[in-house]
Amino acid sequence: MYAFYKKALIACLCLLVASLLFSYFCLAQSYLLVPMLPIKGSPLPWQPVPSWEARPGGPATVNIQDDPQRLKYEFSISDKAEQPFAAIELVFRDRKGKPTHVDLSRYSALALRVKCSPANTLMFSAYTFERVIPGKEYLNYRPSLAYFSCNKNESKVEIDLTRLETPHWWFYLVNLDLSRQSYKLDKVTKLTIGSTFQSPRGKPMAVEVSALELEGRDYRYLGLLAVTLSLAWGGFGLWFFLRHAGVLTEDVRERLQKDLPFVAYQQLSLEPHRDKEKTAILQFIGSKYADPALELDTVVEQTGVNRTKVGELLKAELGYTFSGYVNKLRLTEAARLLAEKESAAVAEIAYSVGYGNVSYFNKLFKEEYGCTPKAFRDACKRGVATVEEAAEPG
């Protein structure tokens, strides 16, 4: 059994290391990070364009600077504008360069490194397609908003894409109940970064975005991890159970063969010995081993051999102490009864061989045979079944 347990331990450690490595891989792959800058290298093609309010002659102007690595633009809002607003739109494009919808449902946040001069409070919005008014397409794009501040020192801003707010005016225009605050990111047409009513008016403002990244989780990898680990460890558990049963059966068979001299303890104790004291001691122990009250003093009293001589005899003749020899006889007889009497209860067998405490019997039996009495009996049944199958004609 030791060789089996050693092999199982090595297999378990190898599987554990492989599980840790695979877990690290799946966890790393589950974290999504999509850089949108530089624009030409973005996996999601997009193009910056001024918002429609920044049309020529309008109340606001937006000037996008040509920078392949960053998103830089300047805007200004007229002092006379009633509803001042200027923004830059990040419009998603398809392969033909036409505006399209992209699925951002796997992403939960947008991280950007931004600075602006002068200090400003800006608005971020994501436009998601939601068909609520057929025939008026522009109203079917829900604007969901968040606000952030920036100044001349570059800072990192992280926007939670799952908790954006939809302005009340949109619900009013589309005649939709205000309680319908939930939205989906599976059809996003554009992202915008624009001014707010707190933005300075009547003077130019500069905004520079040096990093723009979508962050999220791909839970498919976590599902793959769970399924793979379940199959791997489930397979290992099944292999261990089946192989352990086979090894245990073989081990029981070997132990029974090894203990044949003790199975025949009555004959052994009755064989003639040159030393009458040895014969007397072995005969008495062999006939009284099942008595729970059997003690060394009883043997000394009944055979007339002193304690020292009894201990020396058993050690020299059989390699056991008195208690060790008695337990060996009891456990060997118990093993024989377990193998031959399937209907007998474990407790009944324990009492019949001299043990008054079943728990103590189970403990000693497991130390001797490496398994519980019940497992021993099952292993013996499998061993008999194997022999019978081998004996059947092909």
What pLDDT score does 267 carry?
42
Looking at the structure, tell me whether residues 209 and 275 fall in a common domain. Answer: no
pLDDT above 60: residue 328? yes
Judge whether 200 lies within some domain.
yes
Q: How confident is the model at residue 170 (pLDDT cuts 50, 70, 90)?
A: very high
Whether 152 is covered by a domain: the verdict is: yes
Residue 136 within any structural domain of the chain: yes
With cut-offs at 50, 70 and 90, classify the pLDDT of residue 55.
low
Q: In the structure, what pLDDT confidence band is assigned to residue 56 with cuts at 50, 70 and 90?
A: low
Q: Domain end: 200, 217, 234, which one?
A: 217
Is the same domain home to 90 and 206? Answer: yes
Rounded distance between C-alpha atoms, residue 285 and residue 115, angstroms: 95
- Average pLDDT, rounded, for the chain: 86
Residues 60 and 161 both lie in one domain: yes
Q: Identify whether residues 279 and 162 lie together within a single domain.
A: no
pLDDT recorded at residue 307: 86
Residue 284 pLDDT exceeds 50 = yes
Residue 252 has pLDDT above 90, yes or no: no
Query: Global pTM?
Result: 0.62
Reduce the DSSP state of residue 308 to 3 states and report it.
Answer: helix
Contact 383, 248 (CB under 8 A): no
- Is residue 170 within 8 A of residue 211, CB to CB? The reply is no
* Assigned domain for 24 exists: no
114 DSSP β-pair partners = 155, 209
Pairing of strands 107-117, 155-160: antiparallel
The CATH number that applies at residue 137 is 2.60.120.430
pLDDT greater at residue 275 or residue 122: 122
CATH number for the domain that contains residue 336: 1.10.10.60
Domain end call among 160, 183, 217? 217
| Model pLDDT for residues 223-234, shown as the tens digit of each residue | 999 999 999 999
d(CA 235, CA 228): 10
Confidence bin at 34 (pLDDT 50/70/90): very high
Same domain, 173 and 271: no
Question: Does 315 reside within a domain?
Answer: yes
Based on the domain organization, do 211 and 64 belong to the same domain? yes
Range of the domain at 317: 259-391
Regarding whether 188 and 275 lie in a shared domain, the answer is: no
> Does any domain span residue 342?
yes
Residue 343 falls inside a structural domain: yes
Q: Which of 217, 235, 268 is the C-terminal boundary of a domain? A: 217
Q: In terms of domains, do 42 and 162 share one?
A: yes
Split at pLDDT 50, 70, 90, the class of 205 is: very high
Tens digit of each residue's pLDDT (9 = 90 or more) over 6-15: 889 999 999 9
Any domain includes 210:
yes
Residues 87 and 185 in one domain: yes
Contact (CB, 8 A) for 34 and 46: no
Residues 191 and 110 in one domain: yes
Do 163 and 268 lie in one domain? The reply is no
Mean pLDDT lowest for which of 58-72, 190-204, 304-318, 372-386? 372-386
End-to-end, the C-alpha distance of the chain in Å comes to 32
Per-residue model confidence (pLDDT) at position 390:
43
What are the residue ranges of helices labelled H in the chain?
2-30, 168-174, 219-258, 260-263, 265-270, 276-288, 296-303, 307-318, 322-340, 346-352, 358-369, 373-391
**CA 297 to CA 47: how far, in whole Å?**
100
Total count of domains within the chain:
2
Q: Same domain for 176 and 320?
A: no
